[in-house]
Amino acid sequence: PLLVNLLYILADLAIGYMLLQITDIKDMDYAKEKKIMHYGGKEEEPGMGGLSVATLYLFNPYTIASCIGRSTILYSNAAIVAAIWMGMKGNKSLAMFSIAAATYLSLYPAMLIIPVILMITRKINGTDITKKVAMQCSGLFAGSLVALFLLSFVLVNSWDFFGSVYGTILTVSDLTPNLGLCWYFFIEMFDQFRPFFLVVFQIHVFIFAVPVSIKLRNYPLFVSFLLCAIMGTFKGYPSVGDASLYLGLLPLSSEIFKYMRYSFLTTNLFLYSTLLAPIFWYLWVYVGSGNANFFYAIGLVYGIGEIILMIDSTFALLRRDFEARSPPETSGEDATLGWDREVMQK
């Protein structure tokens, strides 16, 4: 048990170290984005330092709870952060292997191949070369994933793990209550409607990957955060470990914080749901004085907090991008009117 506990602690420390390295690489490679910019004579504050980003992740209550609970999502998170780190460094082989490892463990991280490829190709000039590198990355990802599947087959001498792991993820066959949005929904649903809504729920996890990556292609780090948040919100079996990951990735884009409008509301929704979820679970399962409605209601509050965080952070990034493209003399009411006109046009 001591060795197992040590492995979880080391995995968390490794994630913190990789987040620190990612921040340092961003500070060097994205100097044009991080430089002091003038908006109507006001200077933009520099982004958060690597040590601060790592500290926020390691001391996040969700991170600590996930480590104490020894959730295996921690290893998937480590693989995702490793892929982002290697992508920022331009290491195609290790980045694609890390994404393949994360996909092998929990399936949904497959969509992160898009922002990681955007990181790798960011410095490349020329469409033909970019396409070639993207094809190479796709091949490395597919080859690594197939190799991991074959290794599993060699170890267990059976393909049954496919249905047990990925079948359970896709069909949501185990309706054990959790912080997700679909378990209660499927319990109350008539069986004949289950396949349709199952497809709808799964589509919601994957459908945003391509449009988000296209729209925010100049901000692959933020795309990684956003896709991880979408996974943590709409997947069939979410946990606090999912929240610890995307909340750890958000400070990598700390320059957008001052543009966020609902930080207070989002923080309170997370605090409210975090405090009441275990209480409602205890009242329902152990005391018997509550029912599933109370626990699912607090899960909805948690989900609303996640969705507001995604919408607010995306708005903040687009607002910052608009101001960065606006003339320096444009400020105050003129900048606001210009932003409103652009939003209306879109």
pLDDT per position in the chain (346 positions), as tens? 789 999 999 999 999 999 999 999 988 876 555 454 444 444 555 678 889 999 999 999 999 999 999 999 999 999 999 999 999 998 999 999 999 999 999 999 999 999 999 999 987 766 778 889 999 999 999 999 999 999 999 999 999 999 889 999 999 988 889 988 889 888 888 888 889 989 988 998 899 999 999 999 999 999 999 999 999 999 989 999 999 999 999 999 998 999 999 999 999 999 999 999 999 999 998 888 878 889 999 999 999 999 999 999 999 999 988 887 775 555 444 555 455 555 545 5
Contacts of 36 (CB under 8 A, 6+ apart): 43, 44, 46
Measured CA to CA, the distance from residue 261 to residue 263 in angstroms comes to 6
pLDDT of amino acid 328:
55
- The answer to whether 200 touches 32, Cβ cutoff 8 Å, is no
The secondary structure element, H or E, covering residue 39 is: strand 38-39
Domain holding 193, by residue range, is 2-338
Structure token pair of residue 6: 């040590």
- C-alpha separations of 233 from 62, 217, 275 in Å: 15, 22, 18
Q: Is residue 198 part of a domain?
A: yes
Q: Under 8 Å CB-to-CB from 319, ≥6 apart: which residues? A: 259, 339
- Cα within 13 Å of Cα(164), Cβ side: 6
With 0-12 / 13-18 / 19 or more C-beta atoms within 10 angstroms meaning exposed / middle / buried, residue 210 is exposed
CB half-sphere exposure, 325, CA atoms < 13 A: 8
Polymer length of the chain: 346
Q: What is the pTM of this model?
A: 0.90
Enter the DSSP assignment of 69.
T
Neighbouring-strand partners of residue 39: 42
Q: Is residue 343 situated within a structural domain?
A: no
Angle CA 306–308–314, to nearest 5 = 105
- pLDDT at res. 312: 97
Q: Would you tell me how many other CB atoms lie within 10 Å of the CB of residue 110?
A: 17
Backbone φ and ψ of 38, nearest 5°: -110, 125
Residue 306 lies in a domain: yes
As a whole number of angstroms, the distance between CA 107 and CA 329 comes to 48
Contacts of 118 (CB under 8 A, 6+ apart): 213, 217, 220, 223
In this structure, what DSSP letter does residue 44 have? Answer: P
Could you identify the residue written with the tokens 């400070």?
251
3-state SS class at 181: coil
Residue 346 within any structural domain of the chain: no
Q: Please report whether residue 282 resides in a domain.
A: yes
Q: Where are the alpha helices (DSSP H) in 158-291?
A: 160-161, 168-171, 183-188, 194-206, 209-215, 220-234, 240-249, 263-282
Domain assignment of residue 345, yes or no: no
Element (H, E) at 87: helix 73-89
Residue 344 lies in a domain: no
Q: How many structural domains are present in the chain?
A: 1
Q: Whose structure tokens read 């923080």?
A: 267
Give domain status of residue 298, yes or no: yes
| Residues 191 and 173 sit within 8 Å (Cβ to Cβ) | no
